[in-house]
Structure 1
Amino acid sequence: MKKGDLYWILAFVLFATFVIFPTTHEIFVNFTTNHPYIGGFFKFGILATMGELLAIRISTRDWKKPSGLIYRAIIWGLLGVVITLMFQVFAVGVKGALASGYLPGGDSAIAFAFLVSTIMNLFFAPIFMAFHRYTDTYIDLYYEGKKNITVDNVVSRIDWTGFVSFVILKTVPFFWIPAHTVTFMLPPEYRVLMAAFLSIALGAILAFAKKKK
C-alpha cells in the first residue's frame, strides 16, 4: 500500500463520517435540502474527482494528478448541478406519468425507481457522458500544448466506437440502470449523494476494463 492510498482512504472516510455522524448528518441534510445546487456541486466536485484519481491509480498502479485537475473538478461540480436538476425533473415527471396512467406500475416504489432510472439513463445519460468526454478531451489537448482548439480537434480525438460499445451499451444497462434504481428508492436528499458515490465505483470499473485491454 502506498502513502497516496492512505490519503485517499482517509479523505473518503472523513466525507462518509460527515454524512453518517448524527450531528453533522443533520447539518448535511439541512444544507442539501435548502441549497441543492451548491450541495450537488460539492458532492460531485469532490467524490467524482476522487473517482477519477482512483481510476488512474488502478490503471497505472500509481497516484498521478491528471492535467488540469482543478478544471476537471470544477466541471464535475457543474455537472453535479445539472444532475441535481435532472434527478428532480425525471422523478417528478415519472411520478406524474404513473399517476395519470401513462406508465405502468401504479404506486409501486420499485416500479417508480426502475422507470426513473431507465428513462433518465436512456435519454439523459448519453448526452451527459458525451459532453463530459468532450470536456475531458478538450482539457487533454490544451495541456498537450494544442493551440486554437476547435470542435473538430476534440471530436476527432474521441474514441466514439469505444464510447458507444462500452460506455453506452454496457455501463448504462448493466451498471447505471440497476444502480440508479437503488438510488431512486432512497429519500430524495440522498439521491445526488448516492450518484456521486457511484461515480467512484464507475471510475474503478472503467479503470479495470482499461487495464484488461
Structure 2
Amino acid sequence: MKSSDGIAIVGIALALALFTVLPDNVAAVNEFSQAHGFLMSFLKFAILGTAGEMVALRITTKKYIQPGFGVLPRALMWGVIGLLIHTAFTVYASGTPVFLKQAGFSVAPDDLVNGSFLVRLGVAFSISTLMNILFAPLFMLAHGVVSMHIEKTGGTLRGLFSPLPVSHLLDEIDWNMLWGFVFRKTIPFFWIPAHTVTFMLPPELRVLFAAALGVVLGVILAFASLKSVPATT
C-alpha cells in the first residue's frame, strides 16, 4: 500500500468522524446540522461521493487524480446529488407508510421510529424498495450522463456548465453495464438491502450513511469495470 492510500483512508475516516463524532459532541454543530439539513447533505455527498470516485479511479488507473477527472466539478455534482437524495429520503420515508396503509397494511406514520423491530424492518424495506425501483434508475442514468459530460469537457467548472448534449451522451452509455450490472444487480442485491439498513438508522444519520455507501459503490463499480476488460496475454 502506497503512502497516498494511507492518506486517503485517513481522509475518509476523518470526513466520517467530522459528520458523526463532532455533531454529537459539539452542541452548536449539532444544532446547525439539524437546522440546515440540505446544506449538510450537500457537503456530505460532495466530500464522500467525490472520494468514492477517486478510490474507483485509483483501482482502475492506479491514480487518485488524472487530467480531465475534474475534482471540483464532481464535488459540485455530488453535492447536488446530496440535495436530491435528501429530498428523496424525505418524500419516500413520509409517503411509503401512507401507501402501505392504503394498500391494506396496518401501518402507523411513526412505525419507522416507534414500531417493533420487525415492523420497522418491514417499513424500512418497503421504503428502500419503492425508492430504488421508482427513483434510483432515472437518478443513476442522470448521474452517468453528467459524469460523462464532465470527462468530455476536460473536468473544468466551465465545461460543467456548458450545454449538455444529452442525446449524444445517451448514445455513448454502456447500456449492457448500466442495465446488466447497475440496475439488475446493484439495485436488488446492494442498494435495496443497504438502504433498508439506512432507514433503520436515526434520521440524522441516514444521509451520512447513504453518502458513505457512495464510496463502497465506487469500489464495486471499479471492480466491475476491471472485470469487463478483456484479459491480455
Query: Runs of 5+ in structure 2 lacking a partner?
Result: 112-118, 229-233
- The residue aligned with 1:20 is 21
Distance 1:179 1:6, change over 3 A: same
Please tell me the residue identity of whatever aligns with 1:201: V
Q: 2:198 aligns with which of 183, 191, 194?
A: 183
Decide whether aligned partners of structure 1 residues 50 and 97 sit closer, same or farther in structure 2, where only a CA change above 3 A counts.
Answer: same
The equivalences for 1:190-201 within 5 A come to 190-201=205-216
Separation (CA, whole Å) in 1 of partners of 2:85 and 2:164: 27
The residue type paired with residue 46 of structure 2 is: G
Which residue identity is paired with 1:120? M
AA matched with 1:129: M
- Whole-angstrom distance in 2 between the partners of 1:27 and 1:210: 43
Give the C-alpha shift of residue 60 in structure 1.
2.0
Counterpart pick for 2:149 among 138, 154, 160: 138
Output the amino acid matched with 1:169: R
**Most deviating of 184-193 and 146-155:** 146-155
Is 2:198–2:209's contact at 8 Å kept on the other side of the alignment?
A: yes
1:212 CA displacement: 2.0
TM-score scaled by structure 2?
0.83
> What pairs up with 1:27-106 in 2 under 5 angstroms?
27-65=28-66, 67-98=69-100, 100-102=101-103, 104=105, 106=107
Deviation at 1:39, TM superposition (A): 0.6
Equivalent-residue separation in structure 2 for 1:103 and 1:51 (angstroms): 41
Q: Which residue pairs with 2:137 in the alignment?
A: 126
CA gap 1:17/1:148 in 2 versus in 1, 3 angstroms: closer
Q: CA RMSD in A?
A: 2.2
Q: 1:151 to 1:102 in 2, by over 3 A?
A: same
State the one-letter code of the partner of 1:74: L
Q: 2:15, 2:69 → 1: CA distance?
A: 24
Query: How much has 1:7 moved relative to structure 2?
Result: 1.7
Cα distance in 2 for partners of 1:190, 1:149 equals 34
Q: CA deviation at 1:103?
A: 5.5
Please say if residues 125 and 192 of structure 2, whose CA atoms lie closer than 8 Å, have aligned partners that are also in contact.
Answer: yes
**Residue 128 of structure 1 aligns to a residue in which SS?**
helix
Identity %: 40
The Cα offsets for residues 116-142 of structure 1, whole Å up to 9 and x where unpaired, read as: 000000000001100000001111221
Which residue is equivalent to 2:125?
A: 114
1:204 to 207, 211, 219: 219
> In structure 2, how many angstroms separate the alpha carbons of the residues matched to 1:136 and 1:197?
19
- String of CA shifts for 1:152-186, please: whole Å, max 9, x gaps: 32111211221111110110000000000000000
Pair 112,54 (structure 1): closer, same or farther in 2 beyond 3 Å: same
